[in-house]
Amino acid sequence: MDGTLARCRDMKRPRYGFYVDHICDAFGTVFILTGLALSGYLSTWVAWAILTVYLVMSINVYLATYTIGTFTLSFGRLSPTEGRVLLALFNLVLLYNPVLLVYGMSFPVSDVIGLLVILVLLAMLIHSVLMNTLTLYRAEPLRGNQ
């Protein structure tokens, strides 16, 4: 939103905005997942796994921005905005149904959803890393030994 506002007002500062926006996102994600881990609503290891995958995805995006010159926050139809909407829906699910019963066994809904999030993020990360690596490989083909 702040980037859109800056463009409308013709007050663009792309490098400053890029840096501030993404460092705030990183800290915000650390605080949210730490809070979830400390709250007891989400297992600590699930929270740290989500955080780890998120931060590695961020590193991947920033490296691709530098090496390939493309900045892509969205993976398929999932962008940070959709992620925040899903997080809000996740909170509603927890409010009304914090436990999932499967064959007489109970599991915290947050951990089940967290594991699904980890799997989806890992799949998106692996796909992105493979595509970026292929792009760079094609851009810098090996030449004969010199």
Q: How many CA atoms lie within 13 A of 40 on its CB side?
A: 0
**Domain segments of the chain as ranges:** 2-139
**Residue pLDDT, tens place only, 55-90:** 999 999 999 999 999 888 777 677 777 777 777 787
Tell me how far apart the alpha carbons of residues 51 and 34 are, in angstroms, rounded to a whole number. 9
| Residue in the structure block whose two tokens are 């796994």 | 49
Which structure tokens are listed for 52?
Answer: 């780890």
pTM over 0.85: no
Phi, psi at 71, each rounded to 5°: -115, 110
Confidence of residue 114 (pLDDT cuts 50, 70, 90): very high
Angle between helices 14-39 and 44-67 (to 10 degrees): 170
